[in-house]
Amino acid sequence: MVSRLGQFVWGMVSLSLLASCAKEQKKFNLSQPHQERQLIVTYKQGTLRNTITKSLHTFDAEQETLNSESVLVGIVDSGMDYNHPDLKDNVWSNPGETGLDANGKDKRTNGIDDDGNGFVDDWHGWDFYNNDNDPMDDNSHGTHVAGTIGAVGNNESGIVGVNWSVSMVPIKVFSGGGATSTDMLVKGIEYATTLGVFVSNNSWGGGAYSDAIYSAIKKASDKGILFAAAAGNEGENNDVGDHYPSNYDLPNIISVAAINRKDNVSAFSNYGANTVDVAAPGEDIYSTLPNGLYGLKSGTSMATPHVTGAIALIRSRYPLAKALEIKEKLLASTVKTNALDGRVIYGRINVANSMETDVTPPSIVTGLDVIQAGLNNISITWNSAGDDGDAGDASSYVIRMSDAPLTTTAEWDAAEPAILSELKRSNSVYTASIKNLVYNRSAYITIRAIDNVGNVSDLSESIAFSLVPVDMLWSEENDTKGNWDAFGSPWGISKIGDISVISDSPDAFYANGSDKSAVTQDITLNSSDLVLEVRMKYELEKDYDWGYIELSVDSGLTWKEVGKVTGASAWTTSSYNLKDAIGSAKSFRLRLRLKSDQSVNYDGWDIDSLKIVGQKG
C-alpha cells in the first residue's frame, strides 16, 4: 500500500496522481487548458506597462520609476529556464560565486564554495532534487511562475511580469515529473532563508502537517522573510480540511486563492473565510515556458506569483519597511467583492492601492454596537468610516477585545484580536459576527478602520457585552463506555499517554473501506440552544477519508450532519451549534462516524471528550 503521507502537489489544476513507491515522493502528470491570455502587454508612450485584464482591476502599476532589482525573490519550485530571453536579465547572480577567484578561475565553475554558504558554485540558485548547482527547469511549472513574478519589462518582447526588474532565485525541489519529498522542501525553504530573500513563492502544497516544514517556515519568519503559498486546487474549504503549507499558523504566510476574469473564485480553487488571505488571477495565465516559449496555465500556482510579485513591487516602493509591514500594506489594499465574501479573509489584491503614498488615516468608526449576544458568539454593527478622513470608504476593519475600555494605542496593542465573520454591508452600515468566544464571557470590543494603504484610524468608543450565561449540561470524558450505546468495531476506548479517548482505531491505523460508528445513548435536555464541544486530534487522508459528527432525534432512524473533519490536526477543541439539528426535539443521540475510501490509511480519529453547554431549562 502506498501512503499519501508527504504528498506534495503543485497548485495547478488538471493533476493526475501517480504515486511512486519511494517514501514521501510522488509523481504527477500536468496538463493545462489553452484558451485566451490573461496577462497581456500594452504600450503607453513607448514603454511597456503591466496590466491584468481590465475586468479584474487587479493592478495597473506604472513602473517607469520603480526598480525591484534589489529585491531578492526565492522561487521554490521545479527550477527555472534561466536562459529564457524574457527571464535571464532578472535571474539572481550570486556575487560570492561570480567573477574570478584568487587563482584567476571562474568562481561559477571552480568547484569551491567561495561564499561559504555550504553550496559549491551556487551562482544562480540550487537544485535540491539532483543536489547540484544547475536549477534548470525540466518541467515548465517554475518557469511559468517566474514569468508572472518578473518577466523583463520594456524590452519590446514577449510578456511582462509584475516586476519589470527583480532578482529571482531558482530553487529546484521538484523533478521533471513532479516528484519531491519533505526533506527537499525543507532544504529549499532553508536555502532561501540562508540567502536572505525578502519573499519566497511556494506554488505547491498537500500532505499532512509536517513539523519539519513548519519549523523551516518559522525560521524564515524569524528572519523577516514572507512566504506566499498556494491555497490548493481541490475546490475545498481550507477552514474544514487543513491544507499545508498555506494553513500553517505563522505570521509570514500569505495564503492565495485563484479567481477568474469575472472576479469569481475559480471552480478548482480552495478557499477559506478564516484561512485563505487573498485572491489573485489564476485562470488561463499567459507566461514564460522553457526553451524561450510562452503558454497558458491555470491554478492557485498561477495566482500565488501575482502576490509574490506584488510584494516585491511594494518593497521597491518602501525599501525600509519591514516584512510584516509590507504584508499589511498588501492585505489592507485588497478590494472586497461579493464573490469573495466568505471565501477569503481580505479580498482581491490591488497593487495600485498599495503603492499610494497616502498618509491620511480614516475617520474614527462610529455606531459600534452589540446587536445580539449568544452562547459563544456576538453579532455587532457599526457605521462605515471614511478613507481619507471623512472622504471615501475605509478598506477594512479590525476589532479587539479587552477586559476594560481601550483608550490608548498601547492598550490596543495589548488587547486580544477578534476574527470577524459573516461580514455584510447595507448602505453605510456593517454587520458581522464574532464566534467561538469563551463561554460566560463579559468584555469590551473596540474597532478601528484601515484604509487602502494601511493607515489606521484612532480608536472607537469601547462597547461592553456579556454572553448568555451557560452551564455544562452533558459530558463524556471517554474513560469508560458510560454514555455510549453502541460501538461499531473497531471503535473503542484506548489510552494516549495519560489521556483516555474514544478512537476509530484503538490498535493504530484505521481500515480501508470503513464506515463504522460510535453512538451515544439518548441525551435528554430541556434546551435546544446547545453547543457541542469536541476535544480531538486526527490524522485522516485529506479529502478522501472523513470523520462525521451527526445527530439523530428519532432514535437513530435518520441522521443530520453537524460537523466533519479530514486531513490532520494536533489536539484541538472545536464547537458545533446543535440548535438547527435538534429543532423542537427534547431528546437526541450523537454519532461519531468514520468513512474511508479503498486506499491509504492513517492513525485515525481520537476524541478526548465531548461536552454540551447551554442554558439550564
Catalytic residues: 77, 141, 301
Q: Give kind and range of the element (H or E) at residue 451.
A: none
Closest CA to 334 of 395, 260, 398, 397: 395
Give every CB contact of residue 521 below 8 A, 6+ residues apart in sequence: 483, 484, 485, 589
- SS3 assignment, position 382: strand
DSSP characters over 69-80: EEEEEEEEES--
Residue 304 and residue 162 in contact, taking contact as beta carbons nearer than 8 Å: no
Residue 405 CB neighbours (<10 A) = 13
How far apart CA 74 and CA 83 sit, in angstroms, is: 17
How far apart CA 596 and CA 29 sit, in angstroms, is: 25
How far apart CA 421 and CA 432 sit, in angstroms, is: 6
DSSP secondary structure letter of residue 132: B
Q: How far is CA 252 from CA 108, 142, 160, 201, 271, in A?
A: 33, 22, 27, 12, 19
- 569 residue type, one letter: S
Q: How far is CA 176 from CA 130, 202, 541, in A?
A: 11, 17, 26
Q: What is the dihedral of CA 505, 511, 512, 514, to 10 degrees?
A: -70
- Length of the chain in terms of residues written: 617
DSSP secondary structure letter of residue 271: B
How far apart CA 352 and CA 87 sit, in angstroms, is: 24
Phi, psi torsion values for 351, nearest 5 degrees: -65, -35
